[in-house]
Amino acid sequence: MEIEYPKVPSQETVDWEYAMRREMQEIVPNLFLGPYASANKNKLSHLESTGITDIICVRHAAEANFIKPNFPEKIRYLVLNVSDIYTENIIQYFAKVKAFIDDSFARNGKVLVHGNAGMSRSASLVIAYIMEKYGLCYRDAFMYVQQKRFCINPNEGFVQQLHEYEPMYRAKFCFEHSFTPLESGMLKRKFSEDEETSLGDNIVRLPT
């Protein structure tokens, strides 16, 4: 039987207004993209009313003084130090981001991905997730995300890496689904263990 990617959720056309760039938008069910302004210290009530349980905070090391996890006692964070420059290797974070989002969804959570402006770094991570989750090329994933957050604008280096990522995730998908059930389970466990290990260094966990 042929294995297919999940169907891309349908979208309604959004009438974009300039002020919306300072807010977060839901790209697919339970996955939000926005700027740091949507997760700063005075936004806890809005985050809680929206149901956000997990946040991916994307920043450069020099931004750490003003872009930070503000609610570690209430929300689980994945903090990534990424520069918004052409030469930054953002592709190295795609698998870690997907594992974090999928783990949140498995717990019926909701995820916000934000950088500073929510236009380049965080947008690239969400586009990569949409590509791999639904089997899309970069252009289709970009247009899909842009329908909800019109202001996205990945830098040229990120765009090149997103183009390069398509054959990589497709090869991984085929590899994972080309084994017998027993072998496939062993492989999936290996990927899961590797991703869990890589996540551990960056996650801010809730106290127990």
Backbone φ and ψ for 81, nearest 5 degrees, come out as -95, 100
Backbone φ and ψ for 27, nearest 5 degrees, come out as -85, -55
Mean pLDDT of the chain: 88
- Confidence (pLDDT) at 175: 82
Residue 190 scores a pLDDT above 50: no
Q: Tell me, what CATH number does 133's domain have?
A: 3.90.190.10
pLDDT digits (tens, 9 = 90+) for 137-158: 999 999 999 999 999 999 999 9
Question: Of residues 8 and 11, which shows the higher confidence score?
Answer: 8
18 found inside a domain: no
Mean per-residue pLDDT, 95-103: 97
- Confidence (pLDDT) at 14: 80
3 found inside a domain: no
Backbone φ and ψ for 206, nearest 5 degrees, come out as -70, 145
- Confidence (pLDDT) at 79: 98
Domain range for 178: 23-82+90-202
- Confidence (pLDDT) at 199: 55
Residue 1 scores a pLDDT above 60: no
104 found inside a domain: yes
- At 69, the pLDDT band (50, 70, 90 cuts) reads very high
- Confidence (pLDDT) at 33: 98
Q: How far apart are CA 149 and CA 112, in angstroms?
A: 13
Instruction: Give the chain's end-to-end CA distance (angstroms, integer).
Output: 44
Mean per-residue pLDDT, 27-52: 97
Residue 182 scores a pLDDT above 60: no
Residue 180 scores a pLDDT above 60: no
- Confidence (pLDDT) at 74: 97
142 found inside a domain: yes
Give the number of other CB atoms < 10 A from CB of residue 120.
23
Residue 27 scores a pLDDT above 90: yes
Collapsed DSSP state (helix, strand, coil) of residue 202: coil
- Confidence (pLDDT) at 201: 58
Residue 207 scores a pLDDT above 80: no
- Confidence (pLDDT) at 144: 97
Overall domain count for the chain: 1
